[in-house]
Amino acid sequence: MSSAPLTLRDLAGIGLERIKGVGERRKEALESFGIGNVLELLGTYPRRYIDRTNMVRIADLVEGEDSLVVVEVVSTRAIRTKNRRSMVSCTVTDGSRKMSLTFFNQPWRDKQLTPGLQVAVFGRPETHRGYLQMTNPVVDPVGDRTGRIVPIYPQSEKSRINSWDLGRWIEDALAKCAPRGIADSVPPEILGRHSLVDRARAMHDIHMPETMEARAAARRRLAFDEVLRVQLVLVARKARWESESAGFEHATTGDLIDGFSAALPFPLTGAQTRVIAEIHRDLAAPRPMHRLLQGDVGSGKTLVAVSTMLAAVQGGHQAALMAPTEVLADQHAMSVRALLASLRLPDDGDLFGARAIRVELLTSKVGAAERRRILAALAAGEVDIVIGTHALIQDDVEYASLGVVVVDEQHRFGVEQRARLRDKALESGDGRAPDVLVMTATPIPRTAAMTVYGDLDVSVLDEMPPGRTPIRTRRVSGPLEEEAMWAEIRARLDAGEQAYVVCPMIEENEKREVASAEETAARLRAGQLGDYEVVLLHGRMASSEKEAVMESFRSRRAAVLVATTVIEVGVDVPNATAMVILDADRFGIAQLHQLRGRVGRGTVASECWLVTQSADDSPRVEALVGSTDGFVLAEEDLRLRGEGTIMGAAQKGRSDLVLASLQRDLDLISAAREEALRLVAADPELSGLAAMRDELDLLFSAEDEEFLFRS
């Protein structure tokens, strides 16, 4: 039998039947709880700790303040109330005073809370008939644990697994690991550089710390492991792309690019100048670019994208811009054509020796004959820039030489779609990989960008072009405030301005959302906005209907556009100065900020009203009222939502962050990124770090592992 330290793979291969007290029934319960082996058992971390050296006593509890106390059960009795509800009443003490715990509709508490049992109780104390009590508190049995710091684990009522049991099983697992120890895959010099404890110490102290300082050091080490693994996957993926792909060495100066800059009717912002320089460095290099461009609503990303695509066109190659919706693709096509209208490409076949840049739009609304014409011209190299939706990656689309790919609103596409467009480019021309720029107007906190998009270099447009008018945001609640809002909107419409009314998200039901938009439009036509042309836009309309509605709004024939969130991106009507978002508290911060960005695009000061049904404060709505800075709002969004959604929306194959926090661990994420870059640069296959490679193989999907480490 081996005496070598236990690796994570060894631990994953040890069944729960080896743990004292885990029989077949307990094993099934643990499996239903998501714990199937010793590695998963040890990776079930406490959700909080009770420091018995610094605890509140019952005698010191304050009415109405949520508190945690450790007590001993004195007695328990089950009662039936007059209306036949079950009630369990339990008397507990900690030596300083007695207290009553009352549980409604939890009859099993009668068997759980036996006299003499020690439990941690978390709830809100109140006085009832002169006696202190808590109603339906959270209860964690802690048994006879006498340590100074007691871990409290997640528990499951359904599978009858409690904190006390988990603690005992984890202690037994750690005791059985002790003779061989736990292997550490992170080189000692990295641990030393960042003052990290070894893995065996961290595993022990996350579960059985002697002090809170030891617990903090354990969390820091295990969190570092999580982010280092993610960064190694991302950095190795990027290195493989770069080593295996020959790229285009685009010229970033010349008549076309210089002419574009000279023809702009306004100066670039400092941020645009900086970002274009970063992109041009990538474009001129022989390796393919993979860059994320973050820019708040209205920061000028389209201009940067056009400058990027022109580098391909200038060299005789093609560029593609993929957008998530037809509305946004249409908008991009109009903007790009307007920006390039004055430019000419040298062309010996033209009578004047030059021709206009050919920009085509390819979406599902394009008719069959027109589509055949565009596809033939694309394959022949006659189209310089193609703009479209998913239609750009369909099987029958061929490119002559696709040199630059721009993907807008990256978070709306999966990694597979981005890769498919890249593969299309590899199939064209001489098989060189295109330069890829992915853009998002949803600002991402720096930690999240490094973690979720860590396989991309990041550029940030953090400066607004001059002339953007500020948007005043107000919260509206109640009939009086709503009537005042509609009066202000009518005044704006009378002055020749236009308005958006965005309808609420109704769960994830598109049909009901459309019904809501139709009802809202009908109500406004019959009521507050009856004197104005009100048009309706939603995602279930045919392409031709959507285009007709948008054209009526752009041309000012319609004064009010009632819409679902289909207008979240891509609608640019400078004369629209007012926006109403109904049931605003149903939306997330990022979506509210995106919607608000549809106004404030002209010279008139704009207004956004966030209508809520409840008079209570909504943190998300208050955040929008307080700031128009997308990056400030992104940090607040992360704080309010927690982090599951960010990692949950990450690309397939990512290891979840359990201990690491995107909010408080920026230093760890930065350190892990630096170490991953250093390790992969020295050893791209990580062949000298067999234990580390084995862990990545174990903890990431087979597809990811194969992509990273096998040709």
> Among 223-237, 562-576, 659-673, which is the least confidently predicted range?
562-576
Question: Between 684 and 143, whose confidence is greater?
Answer: 684
What letter represents residue 610's amino acid? Answer: L
CA gap 139, 71 in Å, rounded: 10
Number of Cα atoms under 13 Å in the Cβ half of residue 52: 18
What's the burial of 4, exposed, middle or buried (CB within 10 Å: 0-12/13-18/19+)? exposed
Structure-block tokens of residue 40: 């998963």
Q: In whole angstroms, what is the distance from residue 648 CA to residue 669 CA?
A: 18
Structure tokens at 276: 């274009």
List phi, psi (to 5°) of 451. Answer: -90, -45
Averaged pLDDT score across all residues of the chain: 84
The amino acid at residue 262 is: A
Segment 533-536 long-range contacts (CB within 8 Å, at least 24 positions apart): 533/557, 533/558, 533/559, 533/560, 534/558, 534/559, 534/560, 534/562, 535/560, 535/561, 535/562, 536/561, 536/562, 536/563
Q: Are 458 and 438 in contact (CB under 8 A)?
A: no
Residue 187 carries which side chain, given as an amino acid letter?
P
Measured from the Cβ of residue 666, the count of other Cβ atoms closer than 10 Å reads 14
For the ranges 459-468, 533-542, 656-665, the maximum mean pLDDT occurs at 533-542
Contact 611, 581 (CB under 8 A): yes
- What residue type is 522 in one-letter code? A
Q: Are 289 and 435 in contact (CB under 8 A)?
A: yes
The structure tokens 């999580």 sit at 226
Strands 318-322 and 385-388: parallel
Maximum distance among all Cα pairs of the chain, rounded to whole angstroms: 100
Q: How far apart are CA 608 and CA 502, in angstroms?
A: 11
Identify which of 236, 201, 234 has the alpha carbon closest to the alpha carbon of residue 217: 201
Summarize the confidence of residues 50-60 as an average pLDDT: 78
pLDDT band at residue 146 using 50, 70 and 90 as cut-offs: low
Matching residue, tokens 């007059």: 82
Q: Which of 105-119, 167-181, 434-448 has the lowest mean pLDDT?
A: 434-448
For the chain, which domains are there? 1-51+149-214 (no CATH), 53-146 (2.40.50.140), 255-461 (3.40.50.300), 471-630 (3.40.50.300)
**Which is nearest to 227 in space by CA: 638, 641, 664?**
664
* Phi, psi of 623, deg, nearest 5: -60, -40
> Would you state the pLDDT for residue 217?
96
For residue 150, name the pLDDT band (cuts at 50, 70, 90): confident
The pLDDT-based confidence of 540 (bands split at 50, 70, 90) is confident
339 — phi, psi (to 5°)?
-70, -30
For 351, phi then psi, to 5°, come to -55, -35
d(CA 700, CA 67): 40
Number of Cβ within 10 Å of residue 492's Cβ equals: 18
Q: Where does the pLDDT of residue 35 fall: very low under 50, low under 70, confident under 90, or very high at 90 and above? A: very high
- pLDDT number for residue 20: 92
Q: What percent of the chain has pLDDT over 70?
A: 86
Q: What is the pLDDT of residue 656?
A: 59
Specify the DSSP class assigned to residue 197. Answer: -
| 284-335 pLDDT per residue, tens | 998 888 888 988 777 888 899 999 999 999 999 999 999 888 878 888 898 8
Residue with more model confidence, 113 or 157: 113
pLDDT score, position 607? 95
Q: What is the mean pLDDT of residues 81-94?
A: 89
Task: Reply yes or no on whether the pLDDT at 68 is more than 90.
Answer: no
Q: Which two tokens stand for residue 124?
A: 């809100």
Q: What is the pLDDT of residue 74?
A: 95
> What are the structure tokens assigned to 592, written together?
């509210």
Mean pLDDT on 239-266: 84
Q: Report in angstroms the alpha-carbon separations of 248 from 184, 285, 311, 420, 432.
A: 42, 8, 10, 18, 7
- pLDDT tier at 354 (50, 70, 90 boundaries)? confident
pLDDT digits (tens, 9 = 90+) for 308-320: 999 999 999 999 9
CA angle, 351 then 357 then 258, to 5°: 100
Residue 98 in this model has a pLDDT that exceeds 80? yes
How far from 431 is each of 205, 297, 424, 428, 434, CA to CA, in Å? 53, 35, 10, 6, 9
> Contact 16/27 with Cβ under 8 angstroms?
yes
Structure tokens at 295: 């820019």
Both tokens of 575, joined, read 């004369």
Report d(CA 117, CA 122) in Å as an integer. Answer: 16
Q: What are phi and psi of 456, to 5 degrees?
A: -120, 145
Inter-residue contact 157 to 102 (CB < 8 Å): no
Report residue 82 as tokens: 């007059």
Cα 4 to Cα 1: distance, rounded to the nearest angstrom: 9
Comparing C-alpha atoms, which of 675, 678, 647 is closest to residue 661? Answer: 647
Query: What one-letter code names the amino acid at 309?
Result: M
CA 552 from chain centre, in angstroms, equals 35
Q: How is 293-351 classified by DSSP, letter by letter?
A: EEE-TTS-HHHHHHHHHHHHHHTT-EEEEE-SSHHHHHHHHHHHHHHHTT-EEE-TTST
Give the range among 158-162, 460-464, 640-644 with minimum mean pLDDT. Answer: 640-644
φ, ψ of residue 461 in degrees (nearest 5): -95, 100
| 326-340 and 301-314 helices, crossing angle to 10° | 60
Residue 70's SS3 state is strand
**Distance between CA 478 and CA 489 in Å, rounded?**
17
SS3 86: strand
Question: Tokens 């106004």 correspond to what residue?
Answer: 599
* pLDDT tens digits, 44-53: 999 888 776 6
Cα–Cα distance measured from residue 190 to residue 202, given in angstroms and rounded to the nearest whole number:
15
Residues paired with 99 in a beta bridge: 92
Instruction: Please name the residue ranges forming H helices in 7-125.
Output: 8-12, 24-32, 38-42, 109-112
Poorest-pLDDT segment among 149-163, 253-267, 596-610: 149-163
Specify the pLDDT at position 642.
Answer: 54
- What is the average per-residue pLDDT within 592-607? 86
Tokens of 462: 């953090």
Residues 6+ apart with CB under 8 A from 657: 223, 226, 227, 230, 451, 643, 647
- For residue 707, pLDDT over 50 is answered with no
pLDDT at 711: 25
Given a cut of 90, whether residue 161 has pLDDT beyond it is: no
Q: Which residue has the higher pLDDT, 670 or 219?
A: 219
DSSP state for residue 7 in the 8-state scheme: P
Mean local confidence (pLDDT), 255-283: 91
Neighbouring-strand partners of residue 101: 90, 134
Is a pLDDT exceeding 80 seen at residue 453? Answer: no
CB distance 474 to 607 below 8 Å: yes
